[in-house]
Structures are given as structure tokens and as C-alpha cells.
């Protein structure tokens, strides 16, 4: 496969975001979003997904974190869509179960070309640090719409909200890693009977 690297910028009245992604990286993150817990979660995606991420985001955090978190999901999705190319030779599907102490989450992804988010998570707290837990849905919605993937997220158990979120993002990274990996039996072939994704 050729290098699967992309850089995407998004510049609005609310946010200025630049994301670079290397799908065949070493799990490195360079990240400045102004939202510390989000940075921590993105570090999990990079490390467990073995994806290099370089993210710079400036947003209207004096209002709240909403626009920054949502627009980062959008921009990251656009970068994935560009980097993945025509999807020939990839596994396409990925899944992972990840525990952290009492918490357990499952994430399943399909690079289907059809966006859809199915998220079954009941956070036990409304905020983690200063981050509104509702914004995780906004992040993933932005990602699936622009990466054009189907994404199923289930928090199966957990009473610590930090642990709930961390298992979700670690599982997301692991599922991404599986889905975008090169399938040695599918080289040059489209992983779909339709012939395109």
C-alpha cells in the first residue's frame, strides 16, 4: 500500500483546526486542543490504534467546549476519509472489547461508506473534569459523518465516568487499527461484493 497520510484544515468563525493523520504510524500524538481530557482520550486513540496524530485546535472555549469537540470529530473524520483512499486491501471491519478496572466497553466499526452512529452509553456523571460527557456523542457523530463509517459504541458496564470514557476511546483506537489494517488475502481487492465502498 502507498502511504496513507492526510492533512485537513477546518477554519470557521468558531474553530480553527488542523489534523494530520498517518494510518500506518507508531502511535504518536502531538495534540493541543485546549480541552485537556479530550487530549487524554485522543492519546488513547493514537496509542492503541497505532496511528500518528498531529492536532492543533483553537476554538471558542470561552463559550464552552462544544464547537471545539464537535469540529475536531469532523476534521478527524475528513482526514481518515482522505487517508484511507479507495479501501482496497483493508480488513474494513474492526472491533474491540476493552476493560479498565470495573468498566468495559465494546466498539465495532465498518468502513462502509455509509455514516451511522449507534451509541449506547449512560455516563454516571455529567462532566469529567470540565468536559460535558454529552460532547462525546458530538465528537463521534462528527467523525462518522465525515469518515463515512458505521460505528457502534456500547459501554457494557462501569460506574467511574473516567473509566467509561477511557475504555470507549481505547476500544475505538483498537477497532480502527483492525479495520484499516492491510489484509494479506485481500491485496488489491475491494472488501465488498458491490465493488466499491
pLDDT above 90 for 187 = no
The C-alpha cell 462532566 sits at: 127
The candidate with the shortest Cα–Cα distance to 129, out of 40, 47, 44, is 40
29-32 and 15-22 beta bridge pairing: unpaired
The answer to whether residue 118 sits within a structural domain is: yes
Query: Domain tally for the chain?
Result: 1
| pLDDT tens-digit readout, 163-174 | 999 999 999 999
The answer to whether residue 50 sits within a structural domain is: yes
pTM above 0.85, yes or no: yes
Q: Rounded CA gap, 169 and 159, in Å?
A: 16
- φ, ψ of residue 86 to 5 degrees: the values are -85, 0
The C-alpha cell 485537556 sits at: 36
Q: Rounded CA gap, 43 and 63, in Å?
A: 25
CB atoms near residue 80 (< 10 Å): 24
Q: What is the CATH number of the domain that holds 67?
A: 3.30.230.40
The answer to whether residue 97 sits within a structural domain is: yes
Identify the band that residue 1 occupies on the pLDDT scale cut at 50, 70 and 90: low
The answer to whether residue 187 sits within a structural domain is: no
The answer to whether residue 185 sits within a structural domain is: no
| pLDDT tens-digit readout, 5-22 | 999 999 999 999 999 999
Query: In this structure, are residues 103 and 157 in contact, taking their beta carbons and an 8 Å threshold?
Result: yes
pLDDT above 80 for 158 = yes
Query: In this structure, are residues 90 and 111 in contact, taking their beta carbons and an 8 Å threshold?
Result: yes
Which grid coordinates belong to 21?
493523520
Range of the domain at 57: 5-180
The answer to whether residue 196 sits within a structural domain is: no
Identify the band that residue 188 occupies on the pLDDT scale cut at 50, 70 and 90: confident
For 7, the 3-state DSSP assignment is strand
Contacts of 156 (CB under 8 A, 6+ apart): 104, 105, 106
The answer to whether residue 66 sits within a structural domain is: yes
The answer to whether residue 139 sits within a structural domain is: yes
Q: Tell me the CA end-to-end span of the chain in Å, nearest whole number.
A: 17
Which grid coordinates belong to 126?
455529567
Amino acid at each position: 500500500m502507498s502511504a496513507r497520510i492526510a492533512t485537513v484544515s477546518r477554519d470557521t468563525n468558531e474553530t480553527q483546526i488542523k489534523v494530520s493523520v498517518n494510518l500506518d504510524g507508531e502511535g504518536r500524538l502531538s495534540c493541543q486542543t485546549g480541552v485537556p481530557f479530550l487530549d487524554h482520550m485522543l492519546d488513547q486513540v493514537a496509542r492503541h490504534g497505532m496511528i500518528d496524530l498531529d492536532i492543533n485546535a483553537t476554538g471558542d472555549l470561552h463559550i464552552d467546549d462544544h464547537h471545539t469537540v464537535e469540529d475536531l470529530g469532523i476534521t478527524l473524520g475528513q482526514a481518515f476519509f482522505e487517508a484511507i483512499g479507495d479501501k482496497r486491501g483493508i480488513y474494513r471491519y474492526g472491533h474491540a472489547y476493552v476493560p479498565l478496572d470495573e468498566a468495559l466497553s465494546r466498539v465495532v466499526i465498518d468502513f462502509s461508506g455509509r455514516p451511522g452512529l449507534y451509541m449506547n452509553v449512560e455516563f454516571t456523571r455529567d462532566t469529567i473534569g470540565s468536559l460535558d460527557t454529552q460532547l462525546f456523542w458530538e465528537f463521534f457523530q462528527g467523525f462518522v459523518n465525515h469518515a463515512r463509517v458505521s460505528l457502534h459504541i456500547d459501554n457494557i458496564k462501569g460506574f467511574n465516568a473516567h473509566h467509561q470514557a477511557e475504555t470507549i476511546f481505547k476500544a475505538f483506537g483498537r477497532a480502527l487499527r483492525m479495520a484499516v489494517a492491510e489484509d494479506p488475502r485481500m491485496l488489491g481487492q475491494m472488501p465488498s461484493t458491490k465493488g466499491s465502498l
